[in-house]
Every structure is written in structure tokens, then in C-alpha cells.
């Protein structure tokens, strides 16, 4: 248990992919207010000053560095070094023919990644961008292609689409680097021992990975997945460490997002340098 002189308001991602990161967090910080929501909504609440710390989309972290003074806590993140399975571009037409693109409202990082990859690899900049609400099935969209993220992306009938792209795998093949989807972003505030908090979050992550089988067993049936599918996703598709390769991938993403005008110019990756915690490769 960790004591803070200020009460913490912490935002937690409601998707399966974030569960290992806050395993047992309520026990370590019993006085903190923990609230689960979609990554995009957490970013909005963070920007509004309602949260001190939240796992938010990487692109929103980059946007908030200069605007709100955000910094990322080291050690833990949601990233992938291969296929991620939960971020997919579903196209009804050849990729070069995409004109209308529907983007899942759940994660702004995945929206940016999709646009960056289409532009960088296929020289495609859709003429029309629209939002795909969480409650609307992707097959109901009339757009040329649809970006779908999260738990529902893992249940898609891929056979109905002309092309399906796993954007985690696509980024890795394109750049040779991991892709960081979300980070623990914080706002400057007095009375918080950020070193102790970063260490505690890494301990939660380590506990969560040790209990990945329990997390898979708890959530698999609810998500319409088998236990093996769920466990493989948590332990093989996802990477929960923010090490030097991940930081390199995040910095490259920042540069490419800046080039498309998706983040402010001269955007920087600001990382809290803990005295006790080093990045893990």
C-alpha cells in the first residue's frame, strides 16, 4: 500500500488489453478514485483536469505535452512488437481505392496510426473521414473501409472484407519498431510521489502478467473468445513494457503524426525520469 498526501484520480482503460496493467491497483492505492472508460474519453477527461493520471492514447499524450504539461510514467504501457489482433483496418475495396474511411471512436491513437500507415505505405489520404460509434457494428458502415479496435475487433468475421490489415503488424513491418498505443500519462500536481507511483504501476503490471490466466478465464466468455485466444492475446500479442525500442517507436510515430498535422509541431516525448526505475528493453 502506498500513501500519498493528495488523493489520486486515476483513469483506467475498460478494454481487456489494459487489465494486466492495473491488476491489484485498488489494493495499493485504496484511497484513490479509479474510473474505467474508453481511451478516447479518458483523454478528454484528462484534458479537462478531471484526472491526475490515466492510461490514454499515445497521440493524446503527445498533444497534451505542450498544452497541459503531460509527462509519461516510465516502465509500463500498452504496445505490440507484432500482430496486435485488436486494431484492424477492414476494407471493402483495394487499399489504394479507399476514399471514405470510418474510424472507431474508441482510440484516437489507432485513428492516427491508420491514417499514417495508409499515407506512408499506400499514398492514400481519404477524402472523407467519419466516426464509427462504439455501438454501431462495422458491417453497417457504408464507408470504403472501417477501422475497428478493442475487444470487438477480435470477433470480426474477416471473410466478408476485401482486405484486413492488422495495424500493429503493419507498423512493425514498415518501421521495424514496436508500436505504443497508450501510456500512463500524468499532469503536474503537488503532493504526489511520482517515483513511488511509477514503481507501483510496474508492480501491478508484473502481478497482472503473472495472473494473466486468471484474467483470461474471467473475461473470455464475456467477450465471445476462448480461454486460449484470450490468454494468447494478453501474453503474446501485447507487450506491456515501455523500454528503449518502444520509446523509439513512439518518437517515430510522433514525427510521422506531426508531418500529417495530427499533433503539434516540435512535439516531444516527455518521460518522467524515476530514480528507481529504468526502462526495460
* Three-state DSSP string of 23-60: CCHHHHCCCCEEEEECHHHHHHHHHCCCCCEEEEEHHH
Q: What is residue 193's predicted lDDT score, i.e. its pLDDT?
A: 87
Name the pLDDT band for 33 (thresholds 50, 70, 90).
very high
Residue 4 forms part of a structural domain:
no
Residue 276 forms part of a structural domain:
no
Residues 60-65: what's their mean pLDDT?
92
- Contact call for residues 88 and 172 (beta carbons, < 8 A): no
Residues 66 and 200 in one domain: yes
Q: Which residues lie closer than 8 Å to 1 by C-beta, 6 or more apart?
A: 27, 28, 29, 30
What CATH code is carried by the domain that includes residue 158? 3.40.190.10
Name the pLDDT band for 281 (thresholds 50, 70, 90).
very low
Residue 72: pLDDT above 90? yes
Domain final position from 175, 194, 226:
175
Residues 98 and 220 in one domain: no
Residues 124 and 168 in one domain: yes
Residues 59 and 117 in one domain: no
Name the pLDDT band for 134 (thresholds 50, 70, 90).
confident
Print the domain residue range for 240: 9-79+179-259
Residues 205 and 251 in one domain: yes
Domain final position from 142, 175, 208:
175
Q: Which residues lie closer than 8 Å to 143 by C-beta, 6 or more apart?
A: 92, 100, 101, 102, 128, 130
Q: Work out the widest C-alpha separation in the chain, in whole angstroms.
A: 56
Residue 44 forms part of a structural domain:
yes
Residues 92 and 150 in one domain: yes
Structural domain count, the chain:
2
Residues 151 and 95 in one domain: yes
Name the pLDDT band for 142 (thresholds 50, 70, 90).
very high
Domain final position from 147, 175, 203:
175
Name the pLDDT band for 189 (thresholds 50, 70, 90).
confident
pLDDT tens per residue, range 143-176: 999 999 987 888 888 999 999 999 999 999 999 9
Residue 197 forms part of a structural domain:
yes
Q: What is residue 6's predicted lDDT score, i.e. its pLDDT?
A: 62
Residues 96 and 57 in one domain: no
Residues 61 and 102 in one domain: no
Q: What mean pLDDT is reported for the chain?
A: 90
- Contact call for residues 234 and 16 (beta carbons, < 8 A): yes
pLDDT tens per residue, range 241-278: 999 999 999 999 999 999 999 998 777 787 786 554 44
Q: What is residue 274's predicted lDDT score, i.e. its pLDDT?
A: 58
Residues 191 and 253 in one domain: yes
**Calpha distance 143→165 (Å, rounded):** 16
Residues 214-225: what's their mean pLDDT?
92
Residues 183 and 60 in one domain: yes
**Cα distances (Å, whole numbers) of residue 25 to 168, 187, 234, 242, 276:** 28, 19, 18, 19, 19
Amino acid at each position: 500500500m502506498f500513501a500519498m498526501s493528495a488523493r489520486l484520480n486515476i483513469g483506467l482503460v475498460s478494454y481487456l488489453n489494459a487489465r494486466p496493467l492495473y491488476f491489484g491497483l485498488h489494493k495499493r492505492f485504496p484511497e484513490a478514485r479509479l474510473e474505467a472508460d474508453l481511451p478516447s474519453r479518458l483523454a478528454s477527461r484528462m484534458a479537462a483536469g478531471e484526472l491526475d493520471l490515466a492510461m490514454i492514447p499515445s497521440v493524446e499524450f503527445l498533444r497534451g505535452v505542450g498544452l497541459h504539461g503531460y509527462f509519461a510514467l516510465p516502465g509500463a504501457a500498452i504496445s505490440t512488437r507484432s500482430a496486435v489482433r485488436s486494431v484492424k483496418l477492414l476494407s471493402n475495396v483495394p487499399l489504394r481505392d479507399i476514399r471514405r474511411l470510418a474510424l472507431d471512436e474508441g482510440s484516437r491513437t489507432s485513428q492516427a496510426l491508420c491514417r499514417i500507415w495508409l499515407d506512408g505505405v499506400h499514398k492514400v489520404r481519404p477524402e472523407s473521414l467519419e466516426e464509427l460509434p462504439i455501438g454501431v457494428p462495422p458491417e453497417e458502415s457504408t464507408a470504403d473501409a472501417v477501422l475497428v479496435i478493442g475487444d470487438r475487433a477480435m470477433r470480426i468475421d474477416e471473410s466478408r472484407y476485401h482486405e484486413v490489415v492488422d495495424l500493429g503488424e503493419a507498423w512493425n513491418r514498415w518501421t521495424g519498431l514496436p508500436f505504443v498505443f497508450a501510456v500512463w500519462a500524468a499532469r503536474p500536481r503537488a503532493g504526489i510521489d511520482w517515483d513511488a507511483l511509477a514503481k507501483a504501476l510496474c508492480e501491478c503490471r508484473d502481478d497482472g502478467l503473472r495472473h494473466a490466466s486468471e484474467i483470461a478465464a474471467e473475461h473470455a466468455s464475456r467477450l465471445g473468445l476462448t480461454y486460449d485466444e484470450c490468454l494468447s492475446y494478453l501474453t503474446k500479442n501485447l507487450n506491456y513494457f515501455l523500454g528503449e525500442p518502444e520509446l523509439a517507436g513512439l518518437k517515430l510515430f510522433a514525427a510521422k503524426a506531426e508531418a500529417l498535422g495530427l499533433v503539434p509541431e516540435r512535439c516531444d516525448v516527455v518521460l518522467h525520469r524515476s530514480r528507481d526505475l529504468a526502462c526495460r528493453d
